[in-house]
Every structure is written in structure tokens, then in C-alpha cells.
Amino acid sequence: MNGADALVFTGGIGENAPAIRARICEGMEWLGIAADRARNDALRGGEGRFDQDGSRVQLWAIPTDEELLIARDTWRVVTGADVRY
């Protein structure tokens, strides 16, 4: 695959915890991951990109509707239906 194109953070922590996102990205420059501290700190609860300009790997925070995913998976298990997302 020759590396990654993007690293995506989602869920409650991924969407709302810039400090945790920053800690995860620390020391990963050798993989092409370079977080922009100001962009990361400003990003809470919404969708956005927080990598440094010129970073080889894009860094994204993307909200998810976890309750909806749980409901769909529960429906699929209970009914045996093949629910596609």
C-alpha cells in the first residue's frame, strides 16, 4: 500500500478530545503524520482536518452517530436482515 492516505478519528473521544488526538499522533512523523496543534485544538465536535500543510497523511476528525450504528446492528442481528450502510 506504500503508506496511508489518511488517519481518521471518530466517536466521542475522536471528535471531542484534541489532547488525545495529539498524543496519538506524537512521534509518528516517520509515517508522514504531522498534526497542526492550532487546528487540532480548535476542532471539537465537528468535522475537520487538522494535519499540517504539506503533511503526507491527512488527519481528520469526523463525527459519527454511534446510536444509529448500534440500532442498525441490533436490527440486523434480531431480524437476520442484511442491512447495508
Residue 47 lies in a domain: yes
Domain span at residue 75 reads 6-79
Tens-place pLDDT, residues 48-84: 999 999 999 999 999 988 888 889 889 889 998 775 6
The reported pLDDT for the residue numbered 72 is 86
Cα–Cα nearest to 14, from 25, 3, 27, 4 = 25
Residue 69 lies in a domain: yes
Domain count, the chain: 1
DSSP the chain: --S-SEEEE-HHHHHH-HHHHHHHHTT-GGGT--B-HHHHHH--SS-EE-BPTT-SSEEEE----HHHHHHHHHHHHHH------
Residue 66 lies in a domain: yes
Instruction: CATH number of the domain at 49, please.
Output: 3.30.420.40
pLDDT at residue 85 tops 60: no
Residue 65 lies in a domain: yes
Give residue 2's pLDDT band: very low, low, confident or very high (50, 70, 90): confident
Residue 12 lies in a domain: yes
Residue 85 lies in a domain: no
Residue 23 lies in a domain: yes
Tens-place pLDDT, residues 8-41: 999 888 889 999 999 999 999 999 999 999 999 9
